[in-house]
């Protein structure tokens, strides 16, 4: 009887933990594409750190795709798989110095920023995507947040 109680307790705790983890999942992924040899990454990352401090919300998760070396590349692939952002990973892996803002529910890329946008503009795009209070004048100018063209293209596609 004690074994049955222990098994049921363990199963119940597992279900509660899984439910709690699912409830804590963010609405928006802010995906930073970087590498150590990236010339513009330091400025972009500094501005992004400031922007993320402005956002400060559990609705937003910063995800790093780092292609500095093979182990980082593999870890980043697992990160992309775990967050179900594989299409964006496949499209841009190897391209660095920018950030993609992705809706977790629809898996749609909302926009991208680079070192050309300041922290305020980055924060407004992220806040707008997450449904947080933001500056409408900036967030509605979607052409400002255009993403780079695909870095990786299937050779069979033309």
d(CA 88, CA 92): 6
Contact between residue 144 and residue 117 where contact means Cβ atoms under 8 Å apart: yes
3 state SS of 117: coil
pLDDT in tens, 67-95: 999 999 999 999 999 999 999 999 999 99
Coil, strand or helix at 61? strand
The pTM score is: 0.78
Instruction: Give all domains of the chain, ordered by start, each with its CATH number.
Output: 26-145 (3.40.30.10)
pLDDT of 5 higher than 70: no
Whether the predicted pLDDT of 64 surpasses 90:
yes
């Amino acid at each position: 009887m004690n074994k049955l109680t222990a098994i049921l307790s363990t199963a119940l705790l597992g279900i509660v933990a899984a439910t709690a983890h699912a409830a804590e999942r963010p609405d928006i992924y802010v995906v930073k594409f970087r590498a150590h040899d990236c010339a513009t990454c330091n400025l972009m990352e500094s501005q992004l750190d400031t922007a993320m401090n402005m956002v400060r919300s559990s609705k937003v998760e910063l995800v790093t795709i780092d292609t500095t070396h093979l182990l980082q590349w593999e870890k980043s692939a697992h990160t992309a798989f775990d967050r179900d952002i594989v299409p964006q990973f496949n499209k841009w892996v190897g391209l660095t110095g920018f950030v993609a803002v992705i809706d977790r529910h629809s898996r749609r890329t909302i926009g991208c920023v680079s070192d050309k946008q300041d922290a305020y503009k980055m924060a407004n795009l992220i806040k707008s995507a997450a449904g947080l209070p933001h500056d409408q004048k900036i967030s509605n100018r979607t052409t400002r947040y255009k993403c780079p063209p695909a870095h990786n293209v299937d050779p069979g596609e033309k």
